Copies of this chain bind each other. A is one copy, B any other.
């Protein structure tokens, strides 16, 4: 039972509670990632195609229709989505807000990745994963980076 608060030697590991907090935050982000992906995609489809049908989500998420039905059920339960059976999907107020936030985060991450040297396609690919795990502080830093690059001095 070594007490790292006393000796403080060549420790690179953070305190256990801090370490645990990081992972907890991570698990939280994982839980919200699916919801964000779905509402973001629904918003995109509504904007670009005029309607968001479950079958389109199924195709674009690469997932069975049964899975979409189940997921939409959870989003509905959580007050993010409304459905009119056989009439496509709609976002609630909360869903729209979440989608807007997700999209602006997504776009920021894409622009940042391109700025540090990724090609557009890879940037899109990576943003899909990174957008859910970047903290507000990180996003702010990305934005500062872009601002400085666009307007040096």
Contact B128 A135 (CB under 8 A): no
Per-residue B-contact encoding for A17-54, CB less than 8 Å = 1, 0 else: 00111111110011000000100000011001100000
Query: Among the listed stretches A71-79, A80-88, A92-100, A136-144, which one makes contact with chain B, having 4 or more residues with CB under 8 Å of it?
Result: A136-144
Q: Which of A115-153 contact B (CB under 8 A)?
A: 116-119, 122, 124-126, 128-130, 132-135, 137-138, 141-142, 144-145
Residues of A within 8 A of B (CB-CB), count: 50
User: How many identical chains are in the complex?
Assistant: 2
- Partner of A118 from B13, B22, B30, B137 at Cβ < 8 Å: B137
Contact A138 B124 (CB under 8 A): no
Contact A62 B20 (CB under 8 A): yes
